[in-house]
Amino acid sequence: MLKAAINTDIFKESIDVMAAMVTECRMHISPGGFSTRAVDTANVAMVSLELSAGAFSSFDATESDIGLDINKMKNIVAMMEKDDTLSLDLPEGGHKIEMSFSGYKYSIALLDVNTVRKDPNPPTINLPGKVVISGSVLYNSIKAAALVSDKIAFGIDPEKGIFYMEADGDMDHIYYELPKDDLVSFVPAEARSLFSLDYLKDLGRVMSKSDQVEIHIGMDHPVKFAFSIADGKGNVEYLLAPRIEAD
Amino acid sequence: MQFSEFSKICEQLEKISGRLDTIDMIASVLPSLDDDELPIFVRFLMGRIFPDWSQEKIGIGPNLVFESVAYVAGNNKSKVVKDINREGDAGTAVENILSKKEQTSFFTENPDLIEVYSDFKYLASIEGNRSQKEKLKVVRKLFANAGPLDGKYLSRLILGELRIGIGEGNIRDAIAKAFDVPAESVEHAYQAANDLGEIAAIAKKGEEELAKIRIELFRPVKMMLAKQGTIADMIEEQGAIAAEYKYDGTRFQFHKSGDLCRIYSRKLEEVTAAIPDIVEVLLKSTEHDIILDGEVIAVDDEGRPLPFQNVLRRFRRKHDVASHMENVRLVPNLFDILYLDGETLIEKTFEERRVLLERNVMSFVAPQIVSDDIKFIEAFYRESLDAGHEGIMIKSLKSAYTPGQRVRQWIKIKPSVDTIDLAVVGAEWGEGKRAHLFGSFILACQDESERLLKISKVATGFSDEALAGIYDIMKDKVISESGKVVRFEPEIVFEIGYAEIQKSTNYEAGYALRFPRFIRFRDDKGIEEIETISSIGERFRAQSEKVR
């Protein structure tokens, strides 16, 4: 059972977080709020989203799992006005969720939970380096790299005290560095890993709205991006597996 | 069974050359599979995904496969296509690409056969405007979880290119051996059920269960086929024989239960919606639940037969059926009955079936004569040609209906034209004004294990329209390209005329065609119906005898 109301901007942001990676997910609903974890079809990227009950203007729920068609949600979200209220209503054991906003009353069929991929187990990885930068700086550097290549390296040079991003195309090269004084936070450790810009462009667009994004990196390891949404009442983590650096 | 284990078995089977060793190896695996896995394993091994009678198709072309592999490996698609073109074989190229993935992943899931099959089932069910995207998602997932060797066989399976030399005969014998049942019982049950996968699971339960298999309505069985021969030999062997017109039309199978009916083409594809006129008259022709075998021909205003192409045009039609009904008048001709009110009739003799056909079907029963007089039958043959038909069929009165078999109990007699049905496996780009079309085609026959063997090229006999039409159909079936040569998913059959068959070392088949020319597109025929190497050998010997 779920009976809740939420600001349309927060709901839209949450859907965007998921839509950057997957087209469907299993959403766990509990009295504490919403949570979900999902992996993209190639098992290369993972997302986890937690939206606490506090992110809603009203929230009453019992434990249940629902299958959400993210594509469909994205289309519906596009119909919503800014800073409006969305009411969600799902009866116990129901197969359709009622979504009401600005006079519209959608009744949306849920996916059979069993047809949606199970939550992936998050891998245990140790990422020693950490920087905190603004989402817009991160997204701009991703866009800049995409002009010359389809992959980007993130790295930390602890001696120089810098965080850098670097991309090599067939002919062209781009390098961008941030000294530690320009960073919100800096935990130095030798780190460099290469990632696909295909994925990062989609994730970057979502992260660009966040003031602070934590980037955790290591040597030829996945990268973890952590940031909050809904005024800190929601938390997101993206994990992206690295590419193999060709010699 | 994990898909990865299946891949290893395929790899081992490819290395075995002997038929008996192949059968032994398969027979040793079958008992370890459970009832759900058996049908899938057996079909996959033969390079098929769904039962032979099923209308399901996954609808995944080379493009979607290459795009998915590129995505999973972290390459761009053009690099993948380049690798495949260099390798010439999609399976091997995919194996190489996946062994040098540039993109790591968090985990792989190692799906079992049932999971892969249910993904295929899902692919077959996807339709609508988002279908390409949704299909891509599923195919990506399949390749994301595939190791290099899995990727090799997965891509071949999807592209209809598995062909590891496991034909129906091998599987039949392996099932018989694995479950200690007679091969004849397996064959017999297969002819009625038309799915060796299901038969494997039933054979596991024992011979009695196999014997219970019956033909079912709306589950088409393969058509019985005829060999070439002479009237004299047939009469000498059989005494009195039946003779019927040989229609220059398209074979069909009519299934009816109450008011509901479906019509299947020779390739067992449902064509009911394309020929409502035939549906209407056949529904009225009998009150029984029935399965009938026949041939549809096109006729002109005087009722004289029109060439075969006119019928095909109607069978292929999906849109605008009504207006084409007026243009091409079709007439069914019924010559066999396989099922009547719950009873399977294929074991009955042709004589007995003919009585049931005449007794239970009121119209469109094809004329037939029975005689042991060669003169009388020859006269009937001339009469048939005069009426505009292709020749005659002569049939043994005592023969059972043997689905899918090309047997000596049915002999086709027609004026001698040497034509041969071959698979189109490749092409070369044309020149001059045909530079943007395929100009010549590489053709293949098959061996007893359904392996394709190249035998000829054909570049003549095509009109510009025919070439353009063929290009439209073949352009989405290109697997690889190198220089001027492209390779196709083997799906299309050409009927090819020739002057002579010669021994040759230029082609894998060991034979070549002299003066090959394109006669027509045989899209009523499936790839498994193309000429076998042994029958080409027979043709070669027959032709040398003639010379002497």
| CB A98, CB A106: distance < 8 Å | yes
**What is the average per-residue pLDDT within B208-216?**
94
How many C-beta neighbours within 10 Å does residue A199 have? 22
pLDDT category at A168 given cuts 50, 70, 90 is very high
Nearest to A123 among B106, B137, B141 (CB): B106
The C-alpha atoms of residue B144 and residue A117 are separated, in whole angstroms, by: 14
Looking at this predicted complex, what is its ipTM? 0.87
pLDDT tens-digit readout, B492-538: 999 999 988 989 999 999 999 988 999 888 888 888 889 999 989 98
Question: Per the CB < 8 Å rule, is B144 touching A23?
Answer: no
The C-alpha atoms of residue B417 and residue B420 are separated, in whole angstroms, by: 9
The C-alpha atoms of residue B357 and residue B343 are separated, in whole angstroms, by: 13
pLDDT category at B134 given cuts 50, 70, 90 is confident
Nearest to A46 among B102, B106, B109 (CB): B106
pLDDT category at B314 given cuts 50, 70, 90 is confident
Angle CA(B528)–CA(B529)–CA(B534) in degrees, nearest 5?
95
Inform me whether the pLDDT recorded for A223 exceeds 80. yes
Lowest mean pLDDT among A71-75, A243-247, B168-172: A243-247
Reduced to 3 states (helix: H, G, I; strand: E, B; else coil), residue B480 is: strand
Q: Which CATH number fits domain A129-240: 3.40.50.10090, 3.40.50.150, 3.70.10.10, 3.30.1360.80?
A: 3.70.10.10
Every domain of chain A with CATH number 3.10.150.10 lies at: 2-115
Q: How far is CA B201 from the centre of its chain?
A: 23
B330/chain A closest Cα distance in angstroms:
46
The single residue of B152, B222, B246, B525 carrying the catalytic annotation is: B246
Every domain of chain A with CATH number 3.70.10.10 lies at: 129-240
Inform me whether the pLDDT recorded for A165 exceeds 70. yes
How many C-beta neighbours within 10 Å does residue B315 have? 22
Considering chain B, what percentage of its residues have pLDDT values greater than 70? 97
CB under 8 Å to B44, separation ≥6 — which residues?
B6, B113, B117, B157, B162
pLDDT tens-digit readout, B232-281: 999 999 999 999 999 988 899 999 999 999 999 998 999 999 899 999 99
Beta-strand pair B438-446/B419-429 = antiparallel
Considering chain B, what percentage of its residues have pLDDT values greater than 90? 63
Residues of A with CB under 8 A from a CB of B: 23, 39, 41-44, 46, 120, 123, 150, 196, 222, 239, 241-244, 246
Q: DSSP characters for B182-246?
A: -HHHHHHHHHHH--HHHHHHHHTT-HHHHHT----TTSPPPPPEEEE--HHHHHHHHSSEEEEEE
Q: How much is the pLDDT for B74?
A: 85
pLDDT tens-digit readout, B358-369: 999 999 999 999
B137 contacts chain A (CB < 8 A): yes
Question: Per the CB < 8 Å rule, is B76 touching A242?
Answer: no
Burial class (CB in 10 A: 0-12, 13-18, 19+), B491: middle
Inform me whether the pLDDT recorded for A32 exceeds 90. yes
Helices first, then strands: H and E counts in chain B: 21, 20
pLDDT category at B318 given cuts 50, 70, 90 is low
Phi-psi category of B36—alpha, beta or left, where left has phi over 0 and alpha has psi -120 to 50?
alpha
CB under 8 Å to A242, separation ≥6 — which residues?
A193, A194, A195, A220, A221, A222, A223, B104
pLDDT category at B208 given cuts 50, 70, 90 is very high
Which amino acid, B373? D
**What is the average per-residue pLDDT within A68-84?**
93
The C-alpha atoms of residue B87 and residue B74 are separated, in whole angstroms, by: 19
Q: How much is the pLDDT for A74?
A: 93
Q: How much is the pLDDT for A204?
A: 97
Q: How much is the pLDDT for B242?
A: 97
A71/chain B closest Cα distance in angstroms:
11
Inform me whether the pLDDT recorded for B168 exceeds 70. yes
Closest residue, chain B, to A39 (C-alpha): B106
Of B226, B217, B202, residue with least CA distance to B393? B226
Q: Which residues 341-380 of chain B have a CB within 8 Å of chain A?
A: none
Residues of B in contact with A246 (CB under 8 A): 102
Inform me whether the pLDDT recorded for A84 exceeds 90. yes
Q: How much is the pLDDT for B279?
A: 95
Inform me whether the pLDDT recorded for B109 exceeds 80. yes
**C-alpha pair distances (Å), B305 with each of B82, B264, B316, B330:** 50, 21, 19, 9
pLDDT category at B379 given cuts 50, 70, 90 is very high
| CB B257, CB B292: distance < 8 Å | no
Inform me whether the pLDDT recorded for B548 exceeds 60. no
Inform me whether the pLDDT recorded for B545 exceeds 80. no
Question: Per the CB < 8 Å rule, is B105 touching A243?
Answer: no
Helix B37-45 to helix B113-125 angle, to the nearest 10 degrees? Answer: 80
Question: How does the average pLDDT of chain B come out, rounded?
Answer: 90
Enter the tokens of residue A166. Answer: 């670097």
Question: Per the CB < 8 Å rule, is B104 touching A150?
Answer: no
Inform me whether the pLDDT recorded for A247 exceeds 70. no
CB under 8 Å to B155, separation ≥6 — which residues?
B65, B69, B90, B91, B94, B143, B161
Upper half-sphere CA count for residue B22 (Cβ side, 13 Å): 22
Is residue B246 annotated as part of the catalytic site, yes or no? Answer: yes
Q: What is the pTM of this model?
A: 0.81
Inform me whether the pLDDT recorded for B417 exceeds 70. no
Q: Which residue has the higher pLDDT, B85 or B313?
A: B85
Q: Of all residues in chain A, what percent are helix, strand and coil, respectively (each to 5)?
A: 20, 45, 30
Residues of B in contact with A196 (CB under 8 A): 74, 103
Interface test with B, best of A23, A25, A37, A44 (most B CBs within 10 A): A44
Q: Which residue has the higher pLDDT, A226 or B300?
A: A226
Contacts of residues B259-262 at CB distance under 8 Å and 24 or more positions apart, as own/partner, are: B259/B283, B262/B218
Q: How much is the pLDDT for A129?
A: 96
Question: Per the CB < 8 Å rule, is B144 touching A120?
Answer: no
Closest residue, chain A, to B75 (C-alpha): A150
pLDDT category at B79 given cuts 50, 70, 90 is confident
Inform me whether the pLDDT recorded for A154 exceeds 60. yes
**What is the average per-residue pLDDT within B167-193?**
94
Question: How does the average pLDDT of chain A come out, rounded?
Answer: 94
pLDDT category at B349 given cuts 50, 70, 90 is very high
Q: How far is CA A165 from the centre of its chain?
A: 20
B144 contacts chain A (CB < 8 A): yes
Burial class (CB in 10 A: 0-12, 13-18, 19+), B545: exposed
Residues of B in contact with A46 (CB under 8 A): 106
B101 contacts chain A (CB < 8 A): yes
Question: Per the CB < 8 Å rule, is B72 touching A120?
Answer: no
pLDDT tens-digit readout, B444-498: 999 888 889 999 999 988 888 888 888 988 888 888 888 888 999 888 999 999 9
Run of H or E including B521: strand B517-521
Enter the tokens of residue A152. Answer: 């980007």
| CB B135, CB B123: distance < 8 Å | yes
Q: How much is the pLDDT for B499?
A: 85
The C-alpha atoms of residue A47 and residue A17 are separated, in whole angstroms, by: 8
CB under 8 Å to B227, separation ≥6 — which residues?
B406, B407, B408, B410, B411, B412
Q: Domain A2-115 falls in which CATH fold?
A: DNA Polymerase III; Chain A, domain 2 (3.10.150)
The C-alpha atoms of residue A104 and residue A237 are separated, in whole angstroms, by: 32
Q: How much is the pLDDT for B319?
A: 66
B502 contacts chain A (CB < 8 A): no
CB under 8 Å to B504, separation ≥6 — which residues?
B510, B511, B512
